[in-house]
Amino acid sequence: MFVHYRTQGFVFKKEDRAEADQLFTVYTKDFGKLEILGKAIRKISSKLRSGVEIFYLSEIEFIQGKTHKTLTDAILIKKFENLKNNLNKLKIAYKISQVLDNLVSGQEPDEKIWQLLNETFEKLNKLEIGNWKLEIIYYYFFWNFVSLLGYRPEINNCTIQGKKINCDIAKIIKVILKKDWQILPRLKIEPSHLKLLKNVSQWYRLKICE
């Protein structure tokens, strides 16, 4: 007899399998990162289709088989409609999902990562700022995420982990790590800042993966 497990989860990746199946990668509140198979879910008659989709927050139920977990129920909690209807926001969501998938390797719950995901997707869905400045939401997730994984950067003056960086970028990362949403959207961020922030973030990501 199979045991049924129930939890909330963010669906952040899906892949088509067989003729009508889909494999969902979900970050769940109680189990961490999971891969769950939705059998025949691509069929129009599937009762699960409306409850699970990429970038949905859903209540899901699954059973653990010999080789994989199988989805048995899915109830939509939140669609994040503003995100889905904005191409720039959607691109940020995919970047967040990619770094989450790459840096979380196993099944292990983490309440702080769960809360960070909730907070980031809420901000991405609701926040109305210039399209190019939306990138700051990704960097908010990235720097706080790697900090929760145990890689909080040491920033002194205009250096990070001893590497000299642009002083403005050092200040922006400090504000990000303080999680101050009163200040963050008001920062005077130019496109040139985002390019530098991208370079520093990519360098740091490679450094922690060494």
pLDDT tens for 87-106 read: 999 999 999 999 999 999 88
Closest to 51 in 3D by CA, of 11, 12, 85, 17: 11
For strands 32-38 and 57-64, give the pairing.
unpaired
Please write the tens of the pLDDT for every residue from 131-177: 667 899 999 999 999 999 999 999 998 999 999 999 999 999 999 99
Report the C-alpha gap between 72 and 59 in whole angstroms.
11
Nearest-angstrom CA–CA distance, 22 and 18: 8
Question: Does position 80 have pLDDT exceeding 90, yes or no?
Answer: yes
Q: What is the CATH number of domain 4-78?
A: 2.40.50.140
Helix (H) or strand (E) holding 156: strand 155-156
CATH topology agreement for domains 4-78 and 82-208: no
Residue boundaries of the structural domains of the chain: 4-78, 82-208
Q: Are 63 and 3 in contact (CB under 8 A)?
A: yes
pLDDT digits (tens, 9 = 90+) for 167-194: 999 999 999 999 988 888 788 888 899 9
Separation in Å, CA 171 to CA 62, 183, 189, 191, 204: 44, 12, 11, 16, 16
Hey, what CATH topology would domain 82-208 get? de novo design (two linked rop proteins) (1.20.1440)
